[in-house]
Structure 1
Amino acid sequence: MRTPTRSSYDVVIIGGAIYGSSVAWWLTQMAGFDGTVLVVERDPTYTFASTSHTNSCIRQQFSNATNIQVSQFGAQFIRNFRSFMGDNPDVPNLTLQSFGYLYLADTPEFTQSLQRSQAVQSALGTATRHMSRDEIAQAYPFYQLDDILAGNHNLVDEGYFDGGTMFDWFKRSARAAGIEFVHAEVTAITRKGDRVNSVTLSDGTDIACGTVVNASGPRAAATAQMAGLEIPVVPRKRYTFVFDAAQPLDIDLPLTIDPSGVHVRSDGKYYMAGCPPEDDYDAAYDDFDFDHSLWENKVWPAIATRIPQFEAVKVINEWVGHYAYNTLDQNALLGRAQSCPNFIFVNGFSGHGLQQAPAIGRGIAELITYGTYRSLDLSAFDVNRTHRNESFLETAII
């Protein structure tokens, strides 16, 4: 355990995974910010962090303009990663494998929803196409489409990338710029009136702070409760399977969102599939037990039906991770708590977190430095909407 070098910090970030590290790094990029920053991470191996279980995907295909704009900046950041990192020659270039998402609609209602989303996306400059069943069949003849009416597909800035490398360089670059990371757990938060004054670490050390950032992923509610605050974020299990096919496809497989709820895509020479469990319950923070029946009963039947060439496949890897699941509307919860303005939330991404980390990390750093969002207005994600029971409307949830 590294001991903090100070007894007081301007900013204490609780959680050092993708969001803690992104906010920390972006603070080093803010003109005029000269504050001290401490990132507290309970498990620096990140073995069970949501970041470590991500599928590293990015899409423009949302129905809400703010989500689209967030991902558009994410794609820009990935494609210009070394430039954003100060043209450091040690920083690798990131490749965005842009074979896109393909949403398949099997009802008139879903088809109309895809058409509405495509119109919003197109107005913001994305390359999303609304495709008929015949157009899908012509582009991707391996699908079985008897039950499909239409789909949406985008081949530009949509696919997957090396999210682990992005995360690693957020941490490295933040440390190089003077951000402190400490291996500890926050066990208490002291609050007087409408302000947080300090956090207590697992060894009993009290750290005074000017601002606290809750970046603790699926544990966000527990962190908030220490400050007397509530947030509707719970751990939900999500399963991933990597498999080999006896008859591989001769072209890349888009990330295909099947009406069954199963999604599948190319993953190098293999394929990756995932889905929620049938019983999507709130999991314990340390519950990573694997439901091996899910493959046989749900995933494989869905992909073998949709892609008959996948009748003969072999699972070569599998894992389960946690979504930091926002039970209100499955979208980000950001900003200052109304009753405690120096406590900032960056939580509840419900599976969108990695792709949104560049834009939202920047936005939270702006909020801390300047008191407002400057580059992109993220106020639609205001955490205080939970108390007003106002949902952020987004139909494209996976």
Structure 2
Amino acid sequence: MQAPSHDSYDVVIVGGAIYGSAVAWFLVSNPDFQGRILVVERDPTYAFASTSHTNSCIRQQFSEPINVQISQFGAEYVKNFRSFMGNDPEVPALRLHSFGYLYLADNEGFAAVLRENQRIQASLGAGTKHMTADEIAAAYPFYNLDGIIAGNHNLTDEGYFDGNSLFDWWKRKAKQKGVEFLTNEVIAMNRNAAETEVESVILASGEVVSCGTVVNCAGPRAALTARMAGIEIPVEPRKRFTFVFEAAQPLDRDLPLTIDPSGVHMRTDGKYYMAGCPPDDDGPVDYTDFVEDHAIWEDKVWPILATRVPQFEAIKLRQSWVGHYAYNTLDQNTILGRHPQTQNFVFCNGFSGHGLQQSPAIGRGLAELITHGEYRTLDLSPFGYERVLENRPFVEKAVI
């Protein structure tokens, strides 16, 4: 473990994966922020971080306007990554592969939800189209649409991008600007007597580090970090399975990220295809449990792929892995911003699978909040911790 260079920092960020790096980058890039930043990461290989297991997808197909706007900024950021990074010639140009998401409805109730979602998305400038089964068949004749009555699809700024490059360059450039990334672990926090602020964090190596603000970017371990400050949040690790496969008869066009009514999703992945799903028993797991269940592929995923796309009857599994969602059991949306009592404790937790695509807008927003005391671009206050205290879910109907 490494020792910190100083005994006091203006901002201490717990967790250095996509969100720790995003908050650090946007903070250090804000001309009004003049502080010292420490990012504490327990595993610098990121081998088991949710960031390392992401499918790197982005969509505007949400039911809540703020989620649509967050992803719209995310798409703009990805497409203009080098520009947003100060036109640094070192920074790569990223591409957003816009094959779109395709939600399939097999009942009138969900079809009505899709129609309403499309109306909201279109009012915000998204390119979502509500389609009949015949229209889907005309655009993508490889589907078997038995039982499907409608769908929503968007080919504009919706699909796949290289999320690992986004993460890598935020971290790399934040370091160049003076952010200290420390291989260590925060194991405890000291609060003042009134419990209105975290005064310091204690590292596994024994050092006590004073902090002006502490930001919880601990991913699936967020509840453990919050507990150090005497705070409870409804975030737990849940397994998600990903499979990369090759088709003996490849499709003649891109496969949209298709959300089947069964819960299985599939998409183009270069010359291969990618599929994923939650387990049937979708409960909390141990923080270290990344054991695969090969029966899920054989008994659930492959049969659904072959049914929905008959050309996928002859496929070969090339790769598979298990990742963890930082799952917010209250409403599957992020918990964001300052704790109402412990004011210098900032949440960045519980993204429930939306994290990577939302990271540009959330990183920017938290940098504004920490620097200026308010959100100045998008109003992210609906995601505040107050709703957890009030048991008041932020209802998003388009959760995968």
Q: Shared fold (TM-score greater than 0.5)?
A: yes
TM-score (norm 1): 0.99
CA distance in 2, matches of 1:137, 1:85: 41
Give the counterpart of 2:241 among 213, 226, 239: 239
1:3 aligned partner: 3
How far, CA to CA, are the matches of 1:360 and 1:104 in structure 2? 29
CA distance in 1, matches of 2:32, 2:356: 27
2:3–2:207 Cα contact (<8 Å) kept: no
Separation in 1, partners of 2:262, 2:92: 38
How far, CA to CA, are the matches of 2:293 and 2:332 in structure 1?
23
One-letter code aligned to 2:140: Y
- Per-residue deviation, 1:254: 0.3
Residue 57 of structure 2 corresponds to residue 57 of structure 1: yes
2:285 to 283, 286, 289: 283
Partner of 2:116: 116
TM (normalized to structure 2)? 0.99
**Structure 1 equivalent of residue 263 of structure 2:** 261
Q: CA deviation at 1:339?
A: 1.7
**Is 1:32 aligned with 2:32?**
yes
Q: Distance in 2 between matches of 1:239 and 1:86?
A: 37
Aligned 1:298-337 pairs, distance under 5 A: 298-337=300-339
Aligned mates of 1:275, 1:240 — CA distance in 2: 7
Question: Contact 2:3/2:205 (CA < 8 Å) preserved in 1?
Answer: no
Shift, 1:241, TM fit: 0.1
State the distance in 2 between where 1:383 and 1:214 align: 13
CA shift, 1:235, in A, is: 0.0
Q: What CA deviation, in whole Å up to 9, does each residue of 1:283-336 have, x standing for no partner?
A: 110011111100011101111100000001010000000000000000010011
Question: 1-side partners of 2:32 and 2:291: how far apart?
Answer: 46
Q: Return the letter of the residue paired with 2:55.
A: N
Compute the displacement of 1:4 (Å).
Answer: 1.4
Q: Which runs of 5+ in 1 are unaligned?
A: none
Runs of 4+ deviating beyond 3 Å: none
Select the residue among 349, 371, 377 that pairs with 1:369.
371
Q: Aligned ranges for residues 1-398 of structure 1 at < 5 Å?
A: 1-192=1-192, 193-398=195-400
Structure 1 SS opposite 2:243 = strand
Q: CA deviation at 1:146?
A: 1.4
Rounded Cα–Cα distance in structure 2 between residues aligned with 1:29 and 1:181 = 16
Asked if the contact 2:132–2:150 (Cα under 8 Å) also holds between the matched residues in 1, the reply is yes
Per the TM alignment, residue 31 of structure 1 is displaced from its structure 2 partner at its CA by 2.5
Report the alpha carbon displacement of residue 2 of structure 1 after superposing the two structures with TM.
Answer: 3.4
The RMSD of aligned alpha carbons is 0.6
SS in 2 for 1:16: coil
Distance 2:353 2:100 in 1: 17
Look up the SS of the partner of 1:126 in the other structure.
coil
- C-alpha displacement of 1:3: 2.3
Count the aligned residue pairs. 398
